[in-house]
Amino acid sequence: MSNLRNKPSSSNWFKWFDPRRRDVGTFAFILNRLTALGLTLYLFLHLIVLSQLSKGPEAYDAFLKLIANPIYMLGELLVIVAVLIHGLNGIRVGLTSFGIGVSTQKQFFYALMVVAIICSLFFAARMVIG
């Protein structure tokens, strides 16, 4: 009698996030999921921020003062990084999904991540220097 514990199951979802000894594709897959979760969380936070507008100018100004804190600026930078990684990797997934660049998908991923890093550094510098 076979043991069913090794069978596919939705309860194995955490294995999606295990990159040990896997190839580049898994890292791209994990990055896309983590950034998607992060951006979804950000969307809700963004809506909460916008809801401050309805409480009058004082409440909104107080909130703007709060987010001038470097920790919040770091959070904003993380959002930019997540958008770059998710968007650029999404282009790769979209193109390879229809046969474009399949044989060079690893190099494609590396190149796009280099672009993401360069753009992230640019935005980080802009935030610091102003």
Partner 1 sequence: MINDWTVTFLVYRQKGQEPGHFDTFKVEVNPDEYVLDAVERIWSFHDRSLTFAHACHHSTCGACGMRVNGVEKLTCITPIRSVTTNGGTVKLEPMRNFPVVSDLVVDLGVMFRRMESVGHRPVLPLADEPAPTPAKPPRPEDLETIRLADCIECGLCISACPVATTTPAYLGPAVLAGAQQHGLDGNRPLLALVDCKDGLWRCHSVFECSSVCPSNVDPARRIMDLRKQVLRARILRFFGRD
Q: Which residues here bind partner 1, judged by CB under 8 A?
A: 1-10, 12-13, 15-16, 20-26, 28-29, 93, 96-99, 102-103, 105-106
Which residues are CB-neighbours of 32 under 8 A, at least 6 positions away? 85, 86, 89, 90, 93
Residue 40 CB, nearest approach to partner 1 (Å): 17
Least distance in angstroms from the C-beta of 119 to partner 1: 23
Least distance in angstroms from the C-beta of 71 to partner 1? 34
Residue 20 or 65 with smaller CB distance to partner 1: 20
Quick one: 11 or 54, whose CB is closer to partner 1? 11
Contact between residue 11 and residue 72 where contact means Cβ atoms under 8 Å apart: no
Q: Is 41 helix (H, G, I), strand (E, B) or coil?
A: helix
Among 31, 44, 15, 7, CA closest to 83: 31
